[in-house]
Amino acid sequence: MVARSKTIAPAKAGAADDVEPLAILMDRYIDGDARAFEELYRQVAPRLLGYLIRLTRDRARAEDLLQVTFTKVHRARSSYLRGAPPVPWLLAIARRCFYDERRSARHRPEELSFDGAVPEPKPEPAAPATDVAEALEQALRSLPESYREAIELTKVTGLSIAEAADVVGASEMAVKLRVHRGYKLLRETLRRFSRS
């Protein structure tokens, strides 16, 4: 959609105390306050982008989806029921954008090569991790999608189990299980890394 370039300073997940609550910013944005949108964007965009990158595993695609998400948010702002927690509301819209895009991509025609096969890009073999952060990133990438998403929402984005369950449309018990199983796999991977 739009070219990408240098990055802006990210807002920390888990806003500081002096930061205006997101629900108030959302209300002010709906009431037509552009500065409230700026602040809302500064606080939530990195979290949305991080979540979308985790879903797509592709930063360019994630940035496109971030734009689609905010376009939808802007169009639907009059339907936002005041009092709804903004971050899960926004994440649920982002998630829906991702799945809609994935569904439409499946129906998109692919160009075939001369032998009639769909050209598949070969996955690049991951270089061995050199520090814990890198090992964690690789371990997260290797998790099944549902586990990775549950951990991303609860651990990285900072949602509660109930909020994460709302976003992914599953029961709290299911999300708890996914986080638990994801942790187990992560622990095994990281143990292997520390041994090596």
Residue 153 has what DSSP assignment?
I
By beta-carbon proximity to other proteins, the closer residue of 103 and 122 is: 103
Q: Determine which residue in the list 101, 129, 138, 176 makes contact with other proteins, applying CB under 8 A.
A: 176
Tokens for 40?
């809302």
| Site residue total, other proteins (CB under 8 A) | 83
Residue 58 has what DSSP assignment?
-
Is 132 in contact with 190 (CB distance < 8 Å)?
yes
Residue 53 Cα distances to 46, 59, 72, 94, angstroms: 10, 5, 19, 11
Residues 145-174 that bind other proteins (CB under 8 A): 154-163, 165-167, 169-172
By beta-carbon proximity to other proteins, the closer residue of 119 and 180 is: 180
Q: Determine which residue in the list 21, 24, 58, 71 makes contact with other proteins, applying CB under 8 A.
A: 71
Residues 4-63 that bind other proteins (CB under 8 A): 4-14, 29-34, 37-38, 41, 45-47, 49-50, 53, 59, 63
- Is 136 a binding residue for other proteins by CB under 8 A? The answer is yes
Q: Determine which residue in the list 55, 70, 98, 147 makes contact with other proteins, applying CB under 8 A.
A: 70
The sign of the torsion formed by the CA atoms of 166, 65, 123, 7 equals negative
C-alpha–C-alpha distance, residues 124 and 13, integer Å: 30
Residues 85-124 that bind other proteins (CB under 8 A): 85, 88-89, 92-93, 96
By beta-carbon proximity to other proteins, the closer residue of 2 and 127 is: 2
| Residue 157 CB coordination number (10 Å) | 23
- Nearest CA to 80 out of 42, 49, 36 is that of 36
Tokens for 130?
């050199």
Scanning 84-92, 105-113, 117-125 for contacts with other proteins by CB under 8 A, the matching segment is 84-92
By beta-carbon proximity to other proteins, the closer residue of 144 and 171 is: 171
